[in-house]
Chain A
Amino acid sequence: MDPALEYHHLQSRRQFFQGAGLKVGSIALAQLLSQKALAQALPSKADIHPALPGLPNFAPKAKNLIYLHMNGAPAQQDLFDHKPQMEQFFDKELPDSVRNGQRITTMTSGQKRFPVAPSKFAFERCGQSGILMSELVPHMKGIADEVTMIKSVHTEAINHDPACTFVMTGSEVPGRPSLGSWLSYGLGSESQNLPAFVVFTPTVKNPSQALFSRMWTSGFLPSKYDGVKLRSAGDPVLYVKNPPGVSSGDRRAMLDALGQLNEKSFERFGDPETQTRIAQYEMAFRMQSSVPELTDLKGESKATLEMYGPNAQKPGTFAHSALLTRRLIERGVRVVQVLHRGWDQHGNLPKEIKNQCLDVDQPTAALIKDLKERGMLEDTLVVFGGEFGRTAYCQGKLTRESYGRDHHPRNFCMWMAGGGIKAGMTYGETDDFSYNIAENPVHLNELNATILHCMGIDHSRFTVRHQGLDQRLTGVEHVNPVKPILA
């Protein structure tokens, strides 16, 4: 090999390393400079998404993350937090001792009464573990023994926008990197042909809550750590398709010329970024075939397709997204996030939540089973939840058949499954009204610390200097991962 060229390669890799501007916790300068660390940091020629040097901090239990976000806040009382005691309080005032003067949103703060609305749905203890789930999620009952159900998650925000921003970025104020961006920044990805972090926003019948691109973008990190949306309409990845009348061969010919000309540009200016650009155009070309291959379901067995339900082959559905999620993880993508909208039931909750569950219940259960069958669940962490919970008292008209629930940040349910997490466990408890946490509270910062822990990252040392502070996903106050749920 041409020694000059070799030197350029080294330079460009070193530049890449420096350009990434590492400041990982307390890794000392000397250590960074040591040959060993440098060697680790230098991406091999094929390494498109390298990890930061020093990461993971310790052996990870999970290599990949799947985050199923139910946007709008599912009612925990109707899905997972069974409160039979509420039955006796039907249409009776929520006791003051329970509400305890806590703030409520201005949507219900004007209500004269706060009548208790017991869930109309039947609950059942499921599997060996006996985790409680309601009739709304019949398929999830089948995976109860795979999950840890956390009943005591809490957050601060009481409205959707700040709460959604918090659950995904650890801050109510926009501008921070999303969880997926943090992970792809820190851990990189094993896929050479696909982005490190992929996002789905399946379509729903009633998009009654908004999503925000800040839930999957990179905030103050470089935009290369943005989640890439896999889309159901138009190009599956933005601009992945050649224009009409341009074949893959045409593109190859154009890129061959471009590569040669950009090499000349590198000779002319000596700028290592030019080498990176050449590599990125090649990656783009590979994506032009890897993305269609990804979305082509021909190779999926009938049994698999049936397991994900009737919508498995219908682009834009949650089921289709869930199936593609498994295919992405199979191909080495680090983080997949599915954001399903429509869970904000202020009124007419029983009817609407049923529809919501019809969308997600079967595909979610199928995803867990599918991962397990393929031996992928052990190193994939799956998280299921919303941005906050809903109130025990009714918003609007209350009958046995119909009621509504307002926002409730004080406690809600999330479950986790797979790599690093105990299977078949319930953690945390709430009071008889699912209104206050009775034991083992889990703040979202602690939940995020737990996610990072499963992925081999010490969250307290995973920082980036921004606005004069070493910013971390998990906030300023010190928190710990939730040890009891770790496998």
Chain B
Amino acid sequence: MAQAHFTETPFVRKKQRAEVIAKCFFGGMAAAMVIPLLLIVGYIVVQGAPSLSWEFLTTNPRLGGIRGGIWSALVGTLYIVAISLCVSAPIGVLSAVYLNEYAKDNWFTRIVNLAVVNLAGVPSIVHGLFGLGAFVYAAGMGKSILSASLTLAIMTLPVIIASTKEALSAVPVSFREACWNVGASRWQTIRHIVLPNSISGILTGVILQVSRTAGETAPIMLTGVATFKMVQGTGLFLYNPVEDQCMALSMHLYYIATQANNAAPSLPYAIATVLLGVVLVVNATAIGVRAYLRSRKKW
């Protein structure tokens, strides 16, 4: 077989050069987004290192947070994350089930979808105002962990809805048809076939919701997080979620960075490191879970 010979005409060379330039140009743009992430994370960790230790994580803050560790803030964040997850996960998943399995393709469904999009787009501080007006005052819950958690639950609902919906719609229709054909009802189909097969998407949504809740500051600042709160003991049961306000990691960073006097210079960086660590690890878990479950998919 005769081998084809390409002669490198100026036109071809020009084309190849353009190709390289284009790649570098757009690659540079992507790099401009990625490099700051690495630089920032690196800088924060290096600056925060002097304050970081196991003790820092497990002791309660003292003297308004400038001494001691961050345990009660960590626990506060955990409470808020757990409660808001308990509320938003079931509502979010069922809402996605409705949108994907029950809703007909009509104007009403479009409005529901629009509402989800807008719920995601409402500024976080407006969610805070809503939480203050609805939960703290109108429902009489006062500024408490419960108010803050409910506010965040509503705010992060779209995260779970979007992710679950995507997973549900990825389950092939033939699965459902097979199930209907053996006489299963619609709910049985969803319960035994659709939901188990979309567990990866649901889990991803849930994990992303956790990361979002853990990092959020503005809404909980108005609805139930104190700048400093003294607690006794270092167990997990530091707060009463219905009555108490709590400390939270994100708010603690804001407070220490802007208001606390005489704090060690590395302290805010250390808190930022922990907060970044929590959020990034949670997100990486989500990505890992998604990749693992996707690789096990058989269709």
**Binding between chains A and B:** no
Q: Which residues of chain A have a CB within 8 Å of any CB of chain B?
A: none
